[in-house]
Structure 1
Amino acid sequence: MSSAPQTSPRTTSLPLASLAGMAFAKGHGTGNDFVLVADPDGARDIVPEQVAALCDRHRGIGADGLIRAVRSAALPEGRYLLASHPEAEWFMDYRNGDGSVSEMCGNGVRAFVHFLAEEGLVPLAEGQALTIGTRAGIKVVTRSANGYAVDMGPWEFIFPEAAAERALDSLVETDGLEVDRPALSVSMGNPHTVVALADEDELLSADLHRAPRVDPVPPQGTNVEFVVPAEPLVTDGVGHIRMRVHERGVGETLSCGTGACAAAAATRHWAGDEAVDDWQVRVPGGTVRVRFIPGPEGREHVELSGPAELVARGVLV
């Protein structure tokens, strides 16, 4: 397999002077970190070069992405969702670390809602739920004693015919692994390609400084997850896997919420008779829980739960 290497350069070529005075917070979910800004009325036009500069870990604040909290009514995508979900007052405007627009981010959703609550923009007590808008549709987030649970909506195979026939649909070439590996592509509203590895030595050998090469690559590009099932796979009714991930427009991250959901979905598909609905996914930044639950429209949904923290606040100069 051959394909051009994907790169996600970050640049500080555009001065950030126009953003001077902008307040921000720094937050993360299991190590997947974000710059968060409140822009309720959509007054700020933060262009991709500025996002990349803010997320630069050497010359900026440093993050895997930027999340802008904006009222849904202030964005065309948000107004579209309000037509059917008027309760979705807030929209998560998410950008990857290279400035590119992304559909959404599972860890970012938890950080976003925690930011809204801590900023006093929404009241959200333990046990209460909040409906928000994202480019991947409506998400319902419930606050718990130790974090947030997100109904991520339905999942599906990106190449359903191939998945049904042979449970694999692409090949992935990765630095550090000697041969191309078969994979399964899953959509969580954003694209993922999941590779099963034999053991943790292989998982540690994968060099994710450069994006893996996927053939065929999904139309919008893809995030690539490398997964090692536990032995035994299921303990006390809970499946266990370990995962690393290379995110589109970011690089390797300590965690990826939608990636954890996709990895659990693919492993569950491969497991056959051993499949369960409750999974613990261990990533370099911690552990998240993934559950498969009935959806209101008859399609199976995925629930992601885990912690979210704010670690710093500041003002750009």
Structure 2
Amino acid sequence: MGIDLQFTKGHGTGNDFVLVADPDGRLDLSPEQIRGICDRQFGVGADGIIRAVRSANLDAGAAALAEDDTAEWFMDYWNADGTVSEMCGNGIRVYTRFLLDQGLAELGAGETLPIGTRSGVRDVQRNATGYQVDLGRWRLEPGETLVRAKNLAVARPGLGINVGNPHVVIALADEDELTEVDLTFIPQLDPDPAGGANVEFVLPHDPLVVDGVGRIRMRVHERGSGETLSCGTGAVAAALATRHWAGAGAPNQWRVEVPGGVLGVRMFPTEDGEHVSLSGPAELVFTGTLKLA
């Protein structure tokens, strides 16, 4: 017997998601169903599915509540291929907008909404561009990863950065390389990280810094979803990598242009080390009902 799935379609700079409200944690979507929903020809079409579930009603939510007992809501995120993802920077902003739209949470000016994820609790606030999320501490991975991609003439060294999920960032030489790299093919990583990684292809602007803000362009191949119009955590990783390459004096505020729009990245000190935040729009596009077998 089929079920009628009530859903909302949303996006953050073109990174699109199907969102469903399941506060009690009763919905059990299979990887096959997730792939079907995300299929752009035969389903709704999305880069992933986000389930809104109370942390107390999900096994993975126990760690979030242990970290912050006010993290009522958990972002249960699945890639388009049916695999689980630890975090999604665009997704958590759209998820916050969804919670507010559904009347499941409130977020006033100057207030913070803690959201549970598989990478820990992340704090979201409103800002002038939409929403800002504190992604917490980040980590520079040891060693070097060689990246090969279709139409990229020479393999490039990549910088491994973890911002709650894994990324490998490479710098490109010019506009032609950014345009011509074919991300319908999965980039090959050597060594290949356990569980894979998102791969960002970055082109710095010239000049790199204007009015104290760093400026880069980026395309991304997301693990489990393919090329997307935007990747929030990827934009953060790209900005961190570019600051690392630029060296002393590089700014802590960045403007990252992706095919779907513009995202803001900011690095700032805290008591437990440097944190990094992501800001940008979050849009809800339409609602609907999908019959699942």
Pairwise TM-score range, normalised by the shorter structure: over 0.9
Report what 1:59 is aligned to: 42
Report what 1:306 is aligned to: 280
Q: What whole-Å deviation, never above 9, does each CA across 1:47-96 have from its counterpart, x for those lacking one? A: 11101100000000000000000000011221122123100000000000
Q: Take 1:214 and 1:316, find their aligned partners in 2: how far apart are those partners? A: 37
Please say if 1:259 is aligned against 2:242: no
Q: Unmatched 5+ residue regions in structure 1? A: 1-16, 163-168
Report what 1:105 is aligned to: 88
| Contact 2:63/2:120 (<8 A) preserved | no
Q: Could you tell me how far 1:274 is from its partner in structure 2?
A: 4.1
Written as runs of structure 1 = structure 2, the 5 A alignment for 1:36-55 is 36-55=19-38
User: Secondary structure of the equivalent of 2:78?
Assistant: strand
Q: Take 2:76 and 2:275, find their aligned partners in 1: how far apart are those partners? A: 23
Q: Decide which moves more: 121-130 or 41-50.
A: 121-130
Please say if 1:33 is aligned against 2:16: yes
Report what 1:3 is aligned to: none
Name the structure where strand makes up a greater proportion of residues. 2
Report what 2:248 is aligned to: 273
Among residues 171, 189, 195, which one is paired with 1:196 in the alignment?
Answer: 171
4+ residue segments displaced more than 3 Å: none
| Contact 1:72/1:89 (<8 A) preserved | yes
User: Secondary structure of the equivalent of 1:273?
Assistant: coil
Q: Take 1:52 and 1:23, find their aligned partners in 2: how far apart are those partners? A: 17
Amino acid at match of 1:58: Q
Please say if 1:76 is aligned against 2:50: no
| Contact 1:27/1:34 (<8 A) preserved | yes
Among residues 101, 105, 110, which one is paired with 1:122 in the alignment?
Answer: 105
Report what 2:268 is aligned to: 293
Report what 1:157 is aligned to: 140
Report what 1:230 is aligned to: 205
Q: Take 1:310 and 1:180, find their aligned partners in 2: how far apart are those partners? A: 39
Q: Unmatched 5+ residue regions in structure 2? A: none
Give the alignment's TM-score, normalised by structure 2.
Answer: 0.97
Amino acid at match of 1:300: E
Q: Take 1:267 and 1:295, find their aligned partners in 2: how far apart are those partners? A: 21
Please say if 1:176 is aligned against 2:151: yes
Amino acid at match of 1:316: L
Q: Take 2:216 and 2:276, find their aligned partners in 1: how far apart are those partners? A: 16
| Contact 1:185/1:193 (<8 A) preserved | yes
Written as runs of structure 1 = structure 2, the 5 A alignment for 1:18-29 is 18=2, 20-29=3-12
Give the alignment's TM-score, normalised by structure 1.
Answer: 0.90
Identity percentage over the alignment? 59
